[in-house]
Structure 1
Amino acid sequence: MFLIKEFKFDAAHNLVSYKGKCEKLHGHTYRLVVVLDGVPDREGMIMDFLELKEIVNEKVLKKLDHSYINDIIKQPSAENIAVWVWEQLEKSVRRENCRLYEVQVWETATSGVVYRGESLEGRSK
């Protein structure tokens, strides 16, 4: 079973290792989706939505919302933001009955990335 919680934050960035219009300073209203994989506990929940909200607020949103993301992530592409969010949350949401399954970072309504903690190293091509 999957537990899903969505968040929004506003931030600015520029892609310094990129040639194109996104190398210039610009901003987004990002949509962040956090997905946990688990089984309901004795209270019938994978995790209380309020607890997940508090963790994401503390570990991610307080740092990224209304920030210049380049001060936090060297090359803040959606891909690199997703990896950074995963690293901030993975240990904090892990429980006996659940784990972080997926992080989605959406820059626009139609453009986003999904990260599941995997790396490209070790994957067969």
Structure 2
Amino acid sequence: MSNIRITKQFNFETGHALYGYDGKCRNVHGHSYKLSVTVIGKPITDTSHVKLGMVIDFGDLKKIVKEEIVDKFDHATVFNKNTPHVDLAKELTERGHNVILAEYQPTSENMVIDFAKKIKSRLPDNIALFSLKLQETDTSFAEWYASDN
């Protein structure tokens, strides 16, 4: 049986600021992110299996990505916890805002690496993460490919 790639797309709104950056993105701002998640595997051939013909049920993939990424990052603000932004994060958290303190500078590049780790850890053994595409704006995105890693 052939390997087939399955892709599901997600949207979420997230704010961030890049500490120490020399451009506008040093300021707190947000994006309407688009995340494309592509997995690869062989379709189920067991005729008694309820998901016959599927690599993975789109609903199962949606559950993983929603729990690991969308539900956590949507309408949150992400800061690098290893910078003085931690003080701003504390202030916002005390005021009831959803803040994520990341181990990294919250660029699209680093976020897509983080997302890949989180999604891979939840996939069934017979399914592999093939690629991720995190689109920050209409013209800017970061991509992660398993073959590059």
- Deviation (angstroms), 1:94: 3.5
Measured in 1, the distance between the counterparts of 2:44 and 2:128 equals 13
| Counterpart in the other structure of 1:99 | 128
Counterpart of 1:108 (choices 137, 143, 149) is 137
Which sections of structure 2, spanning at least 5 residues, go unmatched? 46-51, 80-99
Name the structure 1 match of 2:9.
Answer: 6
One of 28, 31, 39 as aligned partner of 1:28: 31
Q: Which is worse superposed, 7-16 or 34-43?
A: 34-43
Aligned to 1:49: 58
What runs of 5+ residues in structure 1 fail to find an aligned partner?
120-125
Quote the Cα distance in structure 1 between the aligned partners of 2:61 and 2:17: 29
Number of positions where the alignment pairs a residue of Structure 1 with one of Structure 2: 118
**Residue number in structure 1 paired with 2:96:** none
Deviates more, 1:87-96 or 1:5-14: 87-96
Flag the 1:45–1:13 CA change in 2: closer, same or farther, 3 A: same
The DSSP-based 3-state class of the residue aligned with 1:15 is: coil
Structure having the higher Rg? 2
User: Counterparts in 2 of 1:69-88, with a 5 A limit?
Assistant: 69-70=78-79, 71-73=100-102, 74-88=104-118
Identical-pair percentage: 32
